Amino acid sequence: MTQIKSWSAAMLAGMLMIGASSVRCAAQEKDSFTPMALDAGFGPMDITAPTTPADEIIKKFAARESEFQQALNHYTYRRVARVQEVDDDNKVSGEYYQVDDVIFTDDGRRTEHTIFAPESSLKQVIMSPSDMQDIQKGYPFVLTAEEIGQYDIKYVGRQKVDDISCYVFEVSPKQIVKGHRYLLGRIWVDADELQIVVTNGRMVPDDTRKGSEDLHPPFMTWRQQIDGHYWFPVYTRAEGILHFAGGHGAMAQDVHIRDIIKYTDYKRFGSTIRIISGGEAPDPNQNQQQQQPKKPQ
């Protein structure tokens, strides 16, 4: 987000550090935000060495992620994005809202079609190109065999996310290439399916130059196994206090930002796989059991 107003807002206190906050990257030397708390549902961390070498686990889950990316490229889905400014009373004071369908054109090209986009009521920040890049590609993070060489990956341990046993890895970019966005944080990989089920961290780099600041909150994305085979992104929540240092005529400013992204209605070649939420009844014709770590509604 890019700052557009110059008055100061009081910082929200009591925010806890996310699990990935200890990870550091040379391209992101200082925190430009106060992060959100790690969600409930994470069991104790077993830090003993895995029975399978970590390098082998990494190689296998990257190959599995490549399979998933190829499959995802043949799916359509709906993405609902909310970006909210939150005031000192924890009430929404401004909002960006957009609904997009990721579809295929008649000639087979994949594209995004905006079906609803009211005028933004954000008052303190504006959406930047990197914000859109994060919503489209960063938050639904996929770490394929083709991209894994761009990252340093460190085995952390084994941990349950609700009832799902996961390997946990710290992920940080080896270097920052201009125009690219990278994950700095942690991933939880299903120990059986060898696919990412939860991603927690931030997309980097931030632009912290005074007068040109472009800052982003930390996020967590949950996936759900909706086709009995692959784990698909279904929900992202990003939240934090962005610390704008001001300069070049702008005052220092703290802005509480909350992003909520939902991915629904996955379809492949006319076959529909729906994400069930709220009180909606399940499809009686669906015979694949769905798995997912619990997530906030």
pLDDT in tens, 147-172: 999 999 999 999 999 999 999 999 99
- Number of other residues whose CB lies within 10 A of the CB of residue 12: 17
Which amino acid does the sequence have at 15? M
Enumerate residues 6+ apart whose C-beta is below 8 A from 130: 181, 203, 214, 216
pLDDT in the model for residue 107: 80
Return mean pLDDT, the chain: 83
Domain membership of residue 260 as a residue range: 2-267
pLDDT, tens only, 81-110? 999 999 999 999 999 999 999 999 888 788
Residue range 192-219: mean pLDDT, rounded: 93
**Is the pLDDT at 4 greater than 60, yes or no?**
yes
In a domain, 170, yes or no: yes
pLDDT in the model for residue 132: 96
Instruction: Let me know: does 159 contact 171? Beta carbons within 8 Å.
Output: no
Element containing residue 282 per DSSP (H, E): none
Separation between Cα atoms, residue 140 and residue 157, nearest integer Å? 23
In a domain, 293, yes or no: no
In a domain, 285, yes or no: no
Among 9-13, 215-219, 242-246, the least confident range: 9-13
pLDDT, tens only, 229-278? 899 999 999 999 999 987 666 677 899 999 999 999 999 855 555 655 54
In a domain, 273, yes or no: no
In a domain, 281, yes or no: no
pLDDT band at 285 (very low <50, low <70, confident <90, very high): very low
Instruction: Let me know: does 50 contact 209? Beta carbons within 8 Å.
Output: no
pLDDT in the model for residue 130: 97
In a domain, 64, yes or no: yes
pLDDT in the model for residue 23: 34
pLDDT in the model for residue 230: 94
**Is the pLDDT at 289 greater than 70, yes or no?**
no
The number of distinct structural domains making up the chain is: 1
pLDDT band at 2 (very low <50, low <70, confident <90, very high): confident
In a domain, 115, yes or no: yes
Instruction: Report the length, in residues, of the chain.
Output: 297
Instruction: Let me know: does 181 contact 173? Beta carbons within 8 Å.
Output: no
* Beta bridge partner(s), residue 153: 171
pLDDT in the model for residue 86: 96
**Is the pLDDT at 178 greater than 70, yes or no?**
yes
In a domain, 284, yes or no: no
pLDDT, tens only, 24-68? 333 344 455 555 566 678 899 999 999 999 999 999 999 999 999
48-57 — which CB contacts under 8 Å span 24+ positions?
48/157, 48/158, 50/155, 50/158, 50/167, 54/155, 57/155, 57/167, 57/189, 57/194
Taking the complete model, does pTM exceed 0.75, yes or no?
Answer: yes
In the chain, the DSSP E strands lie at 2-3, 33-35, 75-86, 92-104, 110-116, 125-126, 151-161, 164-173, 182-190, 196-204, 219-225, 231-244, 253-268, 271-273
